[in-house]
């Protein structure tokens, strides 16, 4: 559980990096490409000077990495950003967190993971908590069919990472190998469709931004995805997806501490519900039957 919790917490820092890039007039998909490329560079440097054996994969297993890279990362980001344009950030965030339910259903079908009362209760607490934290209760007017469909697509894409990573783990691949090839494929697919010149101008504009580029890749991508993959070795997909839902809670706390954003009563209630779900998952983390 600690590895999954740490991964979710690091994902919660994403907004801090995104704000810096948004201030420099880079768009969402530009940031997705930056995230993928910076992560690949950071991981490649670590692997090439550390354990080159981690670069080895079997050609027959390449579908696992296409699944995590295209089926999850690229598809998830496209649907998520499209949902934001069709609805709102709060609606998009809540629809994204249908992912734990999708993970549980797919894991039951594909891996035989049990659907227990503990898991289902934690799932409901997490989803309702996300509703309160994001404030969607006061934003229901933003709902529309197209936005709901792309939002559910983002949840599916988010969920597919756990599924394809599980297949890669069962084939003996280590977490860093999975993360590297996931984002290498995502970068190859994404880069041709973004403002490459704008990204290069911003990144190479100063030593600070070059360092920021690498830190972004390590903190928001390399560490959390590697930790998440590592955690999947010891915990079921369903529980992992719920525990990782600490992400919006951390993001909200950072918004309050750094940007002095206001916290509503509903937000506090949402945080308590999410924490309750985490405690519930932790109480049975040692057992595959809980």
Any long-range contacts for 265-268 (C-beta under 8 Å, 24+ apart)? 266/132, 266/133, 266/135, 266/137, 267/132, 267/133, 267/135
Q: Cα dist. 146→23, 35, 143, 152, 245 in Å?
A: 29, 27, 9, 10, 25
Q: Provide the residue count of the chain.
A: 290
Residue 51 φ/ψ, nearest 5 degrees: -130, 90
Query: Does pTM top 0.85 for this prediction?
Result: no
Q: What is the pLDDT of residue 238?
A: 86
Residue 247 corresponds to which tokens in the numbers above?
């992400």
CB within 8 Å of 75: residues ≥ 6 apart = 153, 156, 157, 160
Q: What is the pLDDT of residue 287?
A: 44
Q: What is the pLDDT of residue 288?
A: 41
CA distance 133 to 71: 28
Q: Cα dist. 18→54, 66, 213 in Å?
A: 30, 26, 11
CA distance 65 to 61: 8
* DSSP single-letter state for residue 28: H
Q: What is the pLDDT of residue 214?
A: 92
* DSSP single-letter state for residue 245: T
* Average pLDDT per 10 consecutive residues for the chain, totaling 290 residues: 90 86 87 91 91 93 95 88 75 78 88 85 83 64 77 90 93 93 94 91 94 93 92 87 82 80 76 80 52
Q: Cα dist. 166→46, 53, 80, 191, 234 in Å?
A: 23, 20, 23, 27, 11
State the burial class of residue 169 (Cβ atoms within 10 Å of its Cβ: 0-12, 13-18, 19+). middle
- From first CA to last CA, the distance across the chain in angstroms is 14
Q: What is the pLDDT of residue 45?
A: 92
Q: Cα dist. 14→20, 99, 105 in Å?
A: 10, 18, 28
Tell which residue, 7, 65, 77, has the closest CA to residue 219: 7
């Amino acid at each position: 559980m600690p590895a999954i919790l740490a991964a979710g917490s690091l994902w919660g820092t994403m907004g801090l990096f995104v704000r810096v890039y948004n201030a420099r007039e880079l768009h969402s998909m530009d940031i997705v490409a930056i995230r993928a490329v910076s992560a690949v560079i950071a991981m490649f440097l670590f692997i090439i000077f550390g354990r080159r054996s981690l670069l080895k994969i079997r050609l027959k297993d390449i579908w696992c990495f296409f699944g995590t890279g295209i089926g999850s990362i690229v598809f998830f980001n496209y649907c998520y950003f499209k949902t934001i344009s069709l609805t709102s950030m709060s609606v998009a965030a809540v629809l994204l967190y249908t992912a734990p339910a999708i993970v549980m259903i797919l894991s039951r079908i594909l891996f035989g993971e049990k659907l227990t009362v503990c898991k289902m209760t934690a799932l409901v607490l997490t989803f309702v908590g996300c509703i309160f934290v994001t404030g969607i209760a006061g934003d229901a007017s933003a709902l529309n069919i197209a936005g709901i469909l792309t939002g559910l697509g983002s949840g599916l894409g988010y969920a597919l990472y756990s599924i394809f990573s599980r297949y890669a783990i069962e084939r003996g691949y280590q977490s860093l190998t999975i993360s590297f090839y996931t984002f290498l494929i995502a970068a190859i697919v994404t880069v041709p469709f973004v403002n490459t010149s704008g990204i290069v101008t911003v990144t190479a504009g100063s030593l600070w931004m070059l360092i920021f580029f690498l830190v972004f890749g390590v903190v928001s991508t390399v560490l959390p995805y590697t930790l998440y993959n590592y955690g999947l070795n010891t915990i079921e997909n369903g529980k992992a997806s719920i525990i990782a839902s600490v992400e919006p809670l951390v993001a909200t706390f950072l918004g309050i501490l750094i940007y002095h954003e206001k916290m509503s009563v509903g937000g506090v209630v949402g945080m308590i519900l999410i924490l309750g779900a985490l405690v519930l998952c932790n109480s049975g983390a040692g057992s595959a039957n809980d």
